[in-house]
Amino acid sequence: MEKPRKKFIDVVDKAMVAANTMDRDELLFSYKGILYPVTVCSPEVFKAMESLEARSDDVILAGYPKSGTNWVGQILSDLVATFEKKMQNEESINDEDLEEFPYLEVGDTGKYERMNKLPSRRVIFTHLLPDNLPRSVFQNKAKILLLIRNPKDVATSFYHFSNGMSVLPSYETWDDFFIAFMTEKSTVYSFMIILFYLVPWGSYFNYLSEWNKYAEDENVMTITYEELKENRALGVKNIAAFFGISLTEEELQGVVERSSFQSMKENSLKTHGALGSILFRKGGVSDWKSLFNEDQNEKMDKAFEEHIAGTKLGMKLKYDVYCRA
Ligand code: PPS
């Protein structure tokens, strides 16, 4: 993913320009009870997505927004590209015309028919709930890397991103954003209020609860942002093994080096265009300490306890290590 991604940058730039001329209450739409940005998603595209024919050798990355998707996406794309290059399958990696926006739910209605013709291996990112993925993903046993990050850092990252990225509604204060992040489903039916009180792509807690149902599947591997921060080399090795990507130690080390925060940030104008300076913000653990007050810590601790503490994913998050004040 070090090469310039023209189509990716075009899609994002166009969405940002379109959003700049819109009012805050026009930025999101609701589909099956979840909000999405109108400038990058649409109900027609969601319906067309069902025609995607998933493959058992697809490399799927699932993660709630702000969990490190672009980071792990870089690792996956680099692992696949390095392997393909070694096998001299140049066709599958070098043709710019074959490039599709990496997020499954972002594109046009013709995207999935084009994807059906792409050579293997396809690398696909998504923030969607498992039930909203095309049925063929589970039927055809595509492998899924599920990326999770502690809820306090996710909320912190999401808040800054919402205020920097024009396609998402911004928030006057962190307190306002915190209310939206913590609200699972609004019982208030005024459209304006729903927009104010819910974040796009749905509730973090609901996301983890739904994906937890798949956490034991043999085709699903879970990784945390925090474990990757602690030992990127081990994480890269485990990810490669899960997808059956066989590389030498030296090749794996190259993938590790190219996925450092510093290297991705430096390269971001080429890979992400204007979005780069918004997306690659801090890239660390515990920045939540700069925003959460005592009451918000208590509310988050309670919600975590109620919804996911006892689940497999909840335990993987090591909440006591990364989230206790
Ligand atoms: S998005 O827009 O929802 O797809 O965002 P996503 O990529 O999931 O998450 C963005 C956060 O990931 C951080 N990031 C990284 N952290 C560590 N190392 C690397 N290489 C890396 N690349 C991106 C990015 O900085 C965002 O986190 P915050 O806390 O805001 O810095």
Confidence of residue 144 (pLDDT cuts 50, 70, 90): very high
CA distances from 70 to 125, 283, 292, 293 (A): 9, 11, 25, 29
Q: Quick one: tokens of 164? A: 């920097």
Give residue 305's pLDDT: 97
Selection from 108, 287, 311 nearest residue 222 by Cα: 311
Residue 1 binned pLDDT confidence (cut-offs 50, 70, 90): very low
Answer whether residue 167 is part of any domain.
no
Higher pLDDT, 4 or 18: 18
Average pLDDT, the chain: 93
Which residues span the domain enclosing 135?
Answer: 6-150+202-284
> Which residues sit with their C-beta closer than 6 Å to ligand 1?
63, 65-71, 153, 157, 160, 259-261, 264, 279-283, 287
Whole-structure pTM value = 0.96
Cα-to-centroid distance, 161 and ligand 1 (Å):
10
Q: Whose CA is nearest to atom 27 of ligand 1?
A: 283
What is the mean pLDDT of the segment spanning 161-170?
Answer: 97
Q: How far is the CA of 87 from the centre of ligand 1 (A)?
A: 31
Measure 187 CA to ligand 1 centroid, in angstroms: 31
The answer to the question of residue 58 being in a domain is yes
Determine, yes or no, domain membership for 38: yes
Query: What is the set of active-site residues?
Result: 127
Residues near 23 by beta carbon (within 8 Å), at least 6 away in sequence = none
Asked whether residue 96 carries a pLDDT value surpassing 80, the answer given is no
Ligand 1 atom closest to Cα of 263? 20
Q: How confident is the model over 224-256, as pLDDT tens digits?
A: 999 999 999 999 999 999 999 999 999 999 999
Closest protein CA for atom 16 of ligand 1:
283
For residue 71, what is the domain's CATH number?
3.40.50.300
Q: Which residue among 148, 279, 281 has the greatest number of ligand 1 atoms within 8 angstroms of its CB, and so is best to mutate?
A: 279
Question: Any idea which of 38-52, 80-94, 105-119 has the lowest mean pLDDT?
Answer: 80-94
> According to the model, what pLDDT value does residue 17 have?
96
* Pairing mode, strands 59-63 and 143-148: parallel
Handedness of CA 291, 293, 297, 299 (dihedral sign): negative
- Which whole number is the average pLDDT over 20-29? 94
- DSSP H helices in 224-318: 225-230, 232-242, 249-258, 261-266, 268-272, 276-279, 294-307, 312-316
Domains: count for the chain: 1
Q: 216 C-alpha vs ligand 1 centroid, how far in Å?
A: 26
Distance 139 CA to ligand 1 centre (A): 31
- Residue 246 phi/psi, 5-degree rounding, is -95, 110
pLDDT of residue 229: 98
Establish if 161 belongs to a structural domain.
no
- Ligand 1 centre to CA of 117 (Å) is 30
The answer to whether the beta carbons of residues 144 and 80 sit under 8 Å apart is no
192 part of a folded domain = no
Atom of ligand 1 lying closest to residue 281 CA: 31
Ligand 1: residue of 1, 39, 40, 70 to mutate (most ligand atoms within 8 A of CB) is 70
Q: Which two tokens stand for residue 305?
A: 């306890």
In the prediction, which pLDDT does 88 show?
79
Residue 301 CB contacts under 8 Å (≥ 6 apart), including other chains: 323, 324
255-279 pLDDT, tens digit each = 999 999 999 999 999 999 999 999 9
Would you say residue 145 lies in a domain?
yes
Percent of the chain residues topping a pLDDT of 90 = 88
Confidence of residue 99 (pLDDT cuts 50, 70, 90): confident
Does residue 113 form part of some domain? yes
pLDDT, tens digit, for every residue of 175-229? 999 999 999 875 545 555 455 579 999 999 999 999 999 999 999 999 999 999 9
Best probe residue, ligand 1, of 67, 157, 267 (max atoms within 8 Å of C-beta): 157
112 within some domain: yes
Provide the CB-side half-sphere exposure for 73 (13 A, CA): 23
The number of angstroms, rounded, from the C-alpha of 33 to the middle of its chain's C-alpha atoms is: 19
**Is residue 56 pLDDT above 60, yes or no?**
yes
Q: Which atom of ligand 1 is nearest to the CA of 287?
A: 29
